[in-house]
Amino acid sequence: MRLVANIPHEEVRISVFAWNDKFLVKFEKAGMEQTYKIAEMDIPGDGDLEKMLDEELVDTVLEIFHKMGTAWKGAQERMDTL
């Protein structure tokens, strides 16, 4: 697996890797990560993966991170009551 790009964003770290005819797009924030595997041939248009990583997608990723953080905090709180 090789690093193809680091895409700057103020709220989340975005890294793109190439591996076995796929791109792995990794989003990282606050100790959590989401990874999307995309076949190279599934990239529409001129094959510019960065165009797919628009603000609407990033906003959705950030919402998921919020839900992940809330779920984790809830699990920790439940452990405190045992």
Walk along the chain (82 residues) and give the pLDDT tens digit of each residue: 999 999 999 999 999 999 999 999 999 999 999 999 999 888 877 768 888 899 999 999 999 999 999 999 999 999 988 7
Please give the pLDDT value at position 50.
85
Please give the pLDDT value at position 80.
80
Asked if residue 4 lies in contact with residue 16, where contact means CB atoms within 8 angstroms, the answer is yes
Asked if residue 3 lies in contact with residue 17, where contact means CB atoms within 8 angstroms, the answer is yes
pTM score > 0.85 for this model?
Answer: yes
Please give the pLDDT value at position 7.
94
What is the CA angle 59-55-26, rounded to 5?
Answer: 70
Residue with the two structure tokens 């248009």: 45
